[in-house]
């Protein structure tokens, strides 16, 4: 059973990220341009306003966070909310913005862009290296979402929500190359696969926007469990806590009027449930 661990609502809560280094859960309220964090040991929460729309974050080895923003990749200092821009790979595409992203096992940060308007296959999945060079890794993306890697770093998962599909790729950790794209799992509308994380057994947890659930897939893409969510718009997931066995679930309240919010008290909150299999520590961006 899921519990509400942060009751203060987000419009679109996204990008949950557990930091072993800090003992904190970070997440975003994207439309509100706000970074938030929770100390589960005390229940205390804090937040900072951000000067740009941030779609995703990752840990940074030199301290703070790395972020994918409306205007490219940036370093983010949680204490102040300050952004220092590193690289904008699409300066000629002002209609594009970054969405979900994650750090790979070798310390590179991956994030995808999408069109700010009617869904079109014009987005790109980008890889930001430690030297701040950017590389387009997959084009023709409609809505880039959940990313993750298998514990052996040989498989990468990538979600295109508007294709209702989680893809798997062969992954070369040394070079950062991907290949052999294939369908890992398909989701039936009106649910969309959104953010994901991978546990230490190699199973994939996928938040299902519109589906009021989180689905767990085994490494072959078979459904091996579902976690009901007490609100329709689950956005993303992260394994954390002291033993990495707490599944944190972010949610959204966007589009709900006062009566709907009153009837859906979990909308926009952060939820948590204890699971049997722990996660793995999130890698840190090396740049």
Q: Which two tokens stand for residue 115?
A: 């069109």
Tell me phi and psi for residue 58, to 5 degrees.
-145, 165
Interacting residues of 92 by C-beta distance below 8 A, sequence separation 6+: none
Q: What is the DSSP letter of 139?
A: E
CB atoms within 10 A of CB 280: 18
Are 18 and 287 spatial neighbours (Cβ–Cβ below 8 Å)?
Answer: no
CB atoms near residue 275 (< 10 Å):
19
Quote the tokens at residue 271.
Answer: 């939820």
| 131 is annotated as an active-site residue | no
Q: Give the β-pairing of 109-115 and 3-6.
A: unpaired
The Cα–Cα gap between 254 and 235 comes to 11
The residues pairing with 75 across neighbouring beta strands, listed in sequence order, are: 66, 84
**Pick the catalytic residue: 116, 194, 218, 264?**
194
Residues tagged active-site? 194
């Amino acid at each position: 059973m899921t519990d509400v661990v942060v009751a203060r609502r987000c419009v679109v809560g996204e990008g949950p990220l557990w930091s072993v280094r800090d003992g904190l859960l970070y997440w975003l309220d994207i439309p509100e341009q706000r970074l938030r964090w929770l100390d589960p040991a005390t229940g205390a929460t804090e937040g900072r306003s951000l000067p740009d729309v941030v779609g995703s974050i990752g840990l940074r080895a030199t301290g703070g966070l790395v972020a994918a923003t409306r205007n490219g990749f940036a370093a983010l200092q949680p204490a102040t909310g300050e952004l220092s821009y590193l690289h904008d790979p699409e300066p000629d595409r002002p209609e594009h913005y970054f969405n979900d992203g994650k750090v790979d096992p070798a310390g590179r940060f991956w994030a995808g862009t999408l069109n700010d308007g009617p869904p079109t296959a014009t987005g790109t999945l980008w890889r930001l290296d430690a030297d701040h060079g950017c590389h387009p890794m997959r084009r023709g993306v409609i809505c880039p979402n959940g990313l993750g890697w298998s514990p052996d770093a040989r498989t990468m998962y990538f979600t295109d929500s508007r294709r209702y599909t989680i893809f798997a790729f062969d992954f070369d950790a040394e070079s950062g190359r991907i290949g052999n794209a294939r369908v890992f799992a398909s989701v039936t509308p009106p649910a969309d696969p959104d953010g994901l994380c991978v546990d230490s057994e190699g199973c994939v947890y996928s938040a299902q926007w519109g589906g009021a659930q989180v689905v767990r897939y085994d490494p072959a893409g078979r459904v091996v469990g579902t976690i009901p969510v007490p609100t329709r718009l689950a956005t993303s997931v992260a394994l954390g806590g002291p033993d990495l066995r707490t599944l944190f679930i972010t949610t959204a309240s966007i589009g709900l009027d006062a009566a709907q919010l009153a009837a859906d008290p979990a909308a926009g909150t952060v939820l948590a449930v204890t699971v049997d299999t722990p996660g793995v520590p999130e890698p840190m961006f090396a740049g």
